[in-house]
């Protein structure tokens, strides 16, 4: 069975740690793969184990992390792959550069209250950050700059994963990528 053609696009999920980026993107990936489309997932945790294992979490290192991921996403997008990228990517300016570089780009903001993110945090990262054990932790002792004009906002503390995934697919369709 040949895979269906789609236009390449990078769907960039940004938001606080534990805001639902990975969960929603994984669900969207599952649905798109069932439709026979070429999908690639780029996730913060996975990428940092390989491509950017040399980087820490200072602003400079975070920007470099996203810069490298942008390069990979751009290559895939250019080859008609749907890239679902999930990165805290806390800085507006770096996200703007990523958008410019990739071109076919949909910014999805997984908006979620800090309280809810902390509740979902199975690894206890927020707790450690608040205790001063982790420095440069987004949302605690490092800023998160909310997107000003994202293509889509998902209120992940108010909607189900299915509802969020549907909104992403609808947006991709309305923008001509599906």
Q: Three-state secondary structure along the chain?
A: CCCCCCCCEEEEEECCCCCCHHHHHHHHHHHHHHCCCCEEEEEHHHHHHCCCCCCCCCHHHHHHHHHHHHHHHHHHHHCCCEEEEECCCCCHHHHHHHHHHHCCEEEEEEECCHHHHHHHCCCCHHHHHHCCCCCCCECCCECCCCCCCCCEEEECCCCCHHHHHHHHHHHHHHCCCC
Whole-structure pTM over 0.75, yes or no? yes
CATH 3.40.50.300 at 9-112+144-174, yes or no: yes
| Active-site hit among 6, 19, 89, 104 | 89
89 is catalytic: yes
At 6 the pLDDT is 72
What pLDDT tens digit does each residue of the chain (178 aa) get?
A: 445 567 899 999 999 999 999 999 999 999 999 999 999 999 988 888 888 889 988 889 989 999 999 999 999 999 999 999 999 999 999 999 999 999 999 999 999 999 999 999 999 999 999 999 998 899 998 899 999 999 999 999 999 999 999 999 999 999 999 9
What does the block give as tokens for 138? 């987004």
For tokens 């000003």, name the residue: 148
Residue 97 has a pLDDT of 97
Q: What is the pLDDT of residue 4?
A: 59
What is the per-residue pLDDT for 136? Answer: 87
What Rg, from alpha-carbon coordinates, does the chain have? 16
Q: For residue 53, what pLDDT is reported?
A: 86
pLDDT value at residue 1: 40
pLDDT given for residue 2 in this prediction:
45
């Amino acid at each position: 069975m040949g895979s269906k053609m789609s236009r390449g696009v990078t769907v960039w999920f940004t938001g606080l740690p534990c805001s639902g980026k990975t969960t929603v993107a994984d669900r969207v990936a599952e649905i798109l793969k069932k439709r026979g489309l070429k999908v690639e997932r780029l996730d913060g945790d996975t990428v940092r184990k390989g491509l950017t294992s040399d980087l820490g979490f200072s602003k400079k290192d975070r920007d470099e992390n996203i810069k490298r991921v942008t390069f990979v996403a751009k290559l895939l997008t250019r080859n008609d792959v749907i890239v679902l990228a999930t990165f805290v990517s806390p800085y507006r300016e770096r996200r703007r550069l990523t958008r410019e570089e990739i071109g076919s780009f949909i910014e999805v903001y997984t908006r979620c209250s800090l309280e809810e993110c902390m509740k979902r945090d199975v690894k206890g990262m927020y707790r450690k950050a608040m205790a001063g054990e982790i420095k440069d932790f987004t949302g605690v002792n490092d800023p998160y700059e909310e997107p000003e004009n994202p293509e889509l906002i998902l209120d992940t503390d108010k909607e189900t994963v299915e509802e969020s995934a549907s909104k992403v697919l609808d947006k991709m369709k309305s923008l001509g990528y599906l």
